[in-house]
Chain A
Amino acid sequence: MAAETKIDPMHQFMIDPIYGQLGANNPFAFTNSSLWMLVLLAVITGFMLMGMRRELVPGRWQVAAEGIVGFVNSMVHASIGPSGRAYLPWVFTAFIFILFANLVGAMPFAVVPGAHPFTVTSQFTVTGVMSIVTFAIVLGVGFWKHGLHFFSLFVPQGTPFVLKLLITPVEFISFAVRPFSLGLRPFIAMFAGHILLDVFGNFVVQGINSQSAAGYGVSALAFVFVIFVNALELLIGAIQAYVFALLTSLYIGDAVNLH
């Protein structure tokens, strides 16, 4: 009988200071989250610089980089309109940051001992701050462009007065919840996927440790399952980045155009 080991799927989300903590209660330190954000910065910068060499005959990097920029650009154009180019930098930044954070965080670097990748988007502080930036843009642009007329966003056009009394508070609540739901979505998607991977990865190890036929069977099944969940995780990572960018451009489009 193997030793009873308790699966601790939350351990992978711990933020540990790895360098430069000044005191026990000092909140400022260089953590593993900071380290992986720097890695992300290097990866994204490298990816874009390799794609921006402006060759006459585009190579693979350039096609990839131009494809991503063109994709985000057409999305912003479709949901904001001709004035949408001004908001392209933020939407593109959010898209490519979440995309690369999700993909790099799912890479199996842990085959090298000690090199566990940290998915920075699995912390609500990161995605929450990104959604706060989005809503700062929405509110700023809305009040800058339309003044107090911005509040007509909550009043649907062409409905009877009685219905307006009902719908306006509902619209306001829906608007007020958006920052939370926008930041919550990429965070929980990554959080849930990594917990699933951790739990089933532990099943593989514990099945082998049990050294019985049934244990090996469970290990093999769990291993196949982990492979498929990893593929799903890559898909979900891309979809969440797309959804975040799409909703960001939609909300900004609402503020710019007011219906």
Chain B
Amino acid sequence: MELASAQVIGAGLAAIGVGAAAAGVGYVFGAFLQGALRNPAAADGQQGRLFIGFAAAELLGLMAFAVAMIILYAR
């Protein structure tokens, strides 16, 4: 297999991780919304924690994207 073809396939495989992180981010916001609808009074105080969870989940997806880019443009 040529290097260029292998790079494209590898980058595509690495991009699967971005979809997995999408599931994680969706879970974070979904769980927050469930809790917030049950106790709306406490929801505003937890927004900082919401975004910490969001940042942690999103970072892994961004890293998958970075790995895909490194594979795609590596020489």
Is B27 an interface position by the 8 A CB rule? no
Residues of A within 8 A of B6 (CB): none
Is B65 an interface position by the 8 A CB rule? yes
Residues of B within 8 A of A75 (CB): 48
Determine which of A181, A243, A250 lies in contact with B54 in the assembled complex, contact meaning CB atoms within 8 Å.
A243
| Cβ-defined contact, A243 with B55, below 8 A | yes
B43-75 CB mask vs A (1 if < 8 Å, else 0) is 000001001101100110011011001000100
| Cβ-defined contact, B66 with A243, below 8 A | no
| Cβ-defined contact, B65 with A192, below 8 A | yes
Question: In the complex where A10-B73, A79-B48, A192-B65 touch, is A184 in contact with B55 (Cβ < 8 A)?
Answer: no
Is A189 an interface position by the 8 A CB rule? yes
B68–chain A nearest beta-carbon distance, Å: 10
A221-259 CB mask vs B (1 if < 8 Å, else 0) is 000000000000000000100110011001000000000
Determine which of A78, A185, A192, A239 lies in contact with B59 in the assembled complex, contact meaning CB atoms within 8 Å.
A185
Determine which of B52, B55, B65 lies in contact with A188 in the assembled complex, contact meaning CB atoms within 8 Å.
B65
| Cβ-defined contact, B62 with A185, below 8 A | yes
A165-193 CB mask vs B (1 if < 8 Å, else 0) is 00000000000000001001100110110
| Cβ-defined contact, A246 with B52, below 8 A | yes
Interface residues on A, range: 10 to 19
| Cβ-defined contact, A242 with B51, below 8 A | yes
A245–chain B nearest beta-carbon distance, Å: 10
Determine which of B51, B62, B69, B73 lies in contact with A189 in the assembled complex, contact meaning CB atoms within 8 Å.
B62
| Cβ-defined contact, A246 with B66, below 8 A | no
A190–chain B nearest beta-carbon distance, Å: 10
Question: In the complex where A188-B65, A188-B66, A192-B65 touch, is A181 in contact with B48 (Cβ < 8 A)?
Answer: no
Residues of B within 8 A of A195 (CB): 69
| Cβ-defined contact, B59 with A184, below 8 A | yes
In the assembled complex, the Cα of A191 lies from the Cα of B69 at a distance in Å of: 10
| Cβ-defined contact, B62 with A239, below 8 A | no
Residues of B within 8 A of A189 (CB): 58, 62
Residues of B within 8 A of A185 (CB): 55, 58-59, 62
B3–chain A nearest beta-carbon distance, Å: 17
B12–chain A nearest beta-carbon distance, Å: 14
B1–chain A nearest beta-carbon distance, Å: 21
Interface residues of A (CB under 8 A from B): 10, 75, 78-79, 181, 184-185, 188-189, 191-192, 195, 239, 242-243, 246-247, 250
Chain A to chain B contacts (Cβ below 8 Å), 8 pairs: A181-B59, A184-B59, A184-B62, A184-B66, A189-B62, A243-B51, A246-B48, A246-B55
